[in-house]
Amino acid sequence: MLRKRISEIKDAYFDENLDLSVQAFNLLGFAGIAAGVVIGVFSVVAGTGAVNVLGNFSASALAAFLLIYTRRTGRYHAASVVTVIAVFIVAFPAMFFAAGGYHSGMSCFFVFAVLFTEMMLKGREAAFFVAAEFALYSGCVVAAWRYPGLVLFFDGELYFAADVIAAFIVSSVILLAVLVLYFRIYDNRQRLLDEQNERLKQLDRMKTEFLGNVSHELRTPLTAVSGYAQTAALHLASLPKSPDVMAAAEKLEIIAGQAERLGAMVNQVLDMTRIEEGRMAWNFEPCRVDRIIRETVRAHFPILSKNENELLVRTDPELPEVLADAPRISEVVLNILANAVRHTRRGSITVTAERLDAGGIAVNVTDTGEGISPKRLPHVFERYNRPDGNDSLRGDDTGTGLGLYVSKLIVKAHGGEISAESEPGNGTSIRFTLPM
């Protein structure tokens, strides 16, 4: 029966799901009951006076009441404030003068009170009461020194030593119990976090695998749509010109363009899944970055020349070769250029490539577009990062949010770095480097 009752009390007041401050309060409550009774009995035996005896037993009764009250109402904050005021600020100073002053164990309880005030309260409220306790307890010590007649001393060194030992043991045991509770809660929560992180990683792997499978299946129909649209457009070009033929050719051009855009999105998803899963097949070989840039611009010029922008390419023809996967570097250049085009209208986009003094090559894409807000700038290379209606200067961004993320993965795989600088309304500059 006793074991069952102890188990019920433990589950009710020290459940691992309870906040640490709540468990600390409950522990303090039970310790207060025990300490009040033990020291109260000691005070009766030592003859330290009715005030000290009454104070200890009153503190024990108050602790029991607050434990029951908080258990039923859940108002732990209010009870913590009451405890600090009634016990730490009112009762402790009274007991200090009634039980030997600083020739007693009350100094241990003063330290104990400050630590528990910080545990049970938070923020400015905790700082206020801790400062008040420091000032009050320091004042009590000074008053006991200046006016020793205010202090009721023990009758003999034996009682003084016993009081110090009792105070030391009680405060040490309670603080040790709190530390044990704290580490137990920390270990349990860390274990739960580890389990949750592992589940999230598993879900992320499943999502990535699903995206990869779906993207792979989409490539075949997209290729067919694009191929048939281009073939039909060539067929219409051989027919006599008429309004109907011209309208059909225009629609086929739109279909082919959208199919190519969807194909680029699918390739981004596939590249992301392959790189994250370590399945990307890299083909590093000596290549010229200036040639990669110009061939990329030439191949995708219809897409890059929209929005009435001026596209400038300025590269040094004497740049040295780098060891790189040329198609992947071309993909990086295309992703950055497409991003610049999407956010620039009637402006200019400039691509430069130059040798670095420290070795390597730097490619820089600068536009005169809308720019990126300071809030979003640190996140532009994150996965699925897209501006919302409140964060973009223009709400027609139709990107997947993967282009710059995939570009970062590719550049990192080459041993380079990628970064962005921007100011809202004054354009954006994205730079990546490749080692020699």
Over residues 214-238, the pLDDT tens digits come to 766 776 777 788 777 878 877 777 7
Contacts for 303 with CB less than 8 Å, ≥ 6 apart: 257, 260, 261, 338, 341
Mean pLDDT score, 377-404: 62
Contacts for 56 with CB less than 8 Å, ≥ 6 apart: 35, 36, 37, 39, 40, 43, 95
Mean pLDDT score, 88-111: 84
Q: Diameter of the chain by CA atoms?
A: 123
Per the structure block, which two tokens stand in for 258?
A: 């959208």
Stretch among 160-164, 319-323, 346-350 having the lowest mean pLDDT: 160-164
Rounded to 5°, angle at Cα 329 from 409 and 430? 70
Separation CA 400–CA 255 (nearest Å):
19
pLDDT exceeding 70 applies to what percent of the chain? 90
Looking at domain 285-434, which of 3.40.50.880, 3.30.565.10, 3.90.25.10, 3.20.20.70 is its CATH number? 3.30.565.10
Cα-flanking dihedrals φ and ψ of residue 366, to 5°? -120, 135
Per CATH, domain 201-276 is 1.10.260: no
Reply yes or no on whether the pLDDT at 364 is more than 90: yes
Strand, helix or coil at 310?
A: strand
More confident residue, 157 or 407: 407
Element (H, E) at 357: none
Average pLDDT across the chain, whole number: 81
Per the structure block, which two tokens stand in for 404?
A: 């710059």
The pTM score is: 0.51
pLDDT at residue 215, as a whole number:
66
Per the structure block, which two tokens stand in for 387?
A: 């501006």
Which band of pLDDT confidence, cut at 50, 70 and 90, is reported for residue 46?
low
Reply yes or no on whether the pLDDT at 211 is more than 70: no
pLDDT at residue 391, as a whole number:
41
Per the structure block, which two tokens stand in for 80?
A: 């913590």
Cα-flanking dihedrals φ and ψ of residue 311, to 5°? -105, 120
Separation CA 436–CA 434 (nearest Å):
7
Residue ranges of domains in the chain: 2-155, 201-276, 285-434
User: pLDDT of 416-425, one tens digit each?
Assistant: 999 999 988 8
Contacts for 201 with CB less than 8 Å, ≥ 6 apart: none
Stretch among 14-23, 61-70, 98-107 having the lowest mean pLDDT: 14-23
Question: Per residue in 377-408, is it b (16+ CB within 10 Å) or e — as a string?
Answer: beebbeeebebeeeebeeeebebbebbbbbbb
Strand, helix or coil at 160?
A: helix
How many Å is the Cα radius of gyration of the chain? 37
CB 102 within 8 A of CB 55: no
Element (H, E) at 428: strand 428-434
Mean pLDDT score, 77-93: 85
pLDDT at residue 159, as a whole number:
75
Reply yes or no on whether the pLDDT at 53 is more than 80: no
pLDDT at residue 94, as a whole number:
85
Mean pLDDT score, 97-109: 83
End-to-end Cα spacing for the chain: 78
pLDDT at residue 366, as a whole number:
94
Which band of pLDDT confidence, cut at 50, 70 and 90, is reported for residue 16?
low
Separation CA 421–CA 344 (nearest Å):
15
Which band of pLDDT confidence, cut at 50, 70 and 90, is reported for residue 298?
confident
pLDDT exceeding 90 applies to what percent of the chain? 19
Separation CA 362–CA 379 (nearest Å):
22
CB 226 within 8 A of CB 263: yes
Which band of pLDDT confidence, cut at 50, 70 and 90, is reported for residue 47?
low
Which band of pLDDT confidence, cut at 50, 70 and 90, is reported for residue 392?
very low
CB 230 within 8 A of CB 264: no
pLDDT at residue 386, as a whole number:
60
Helix axes 326-342, 243-276, angle to 10 degrees: 120
More confident residue, 215 or 202: 202
Stretch among 31-40, 261-270, 303-312, 392-401 having the lowest mean pLDDT: 392-401
CB 289 within 8 A of CB 326: no
User: pLDDT of 114-139, one tens digit each?
Assistant: 888 887 788 899 999 999 999 999 99
pLDDT at residue 280, as a whole number:
80
DSSP string, 90-108: IIHHHHHHHTTTTSSTHHH
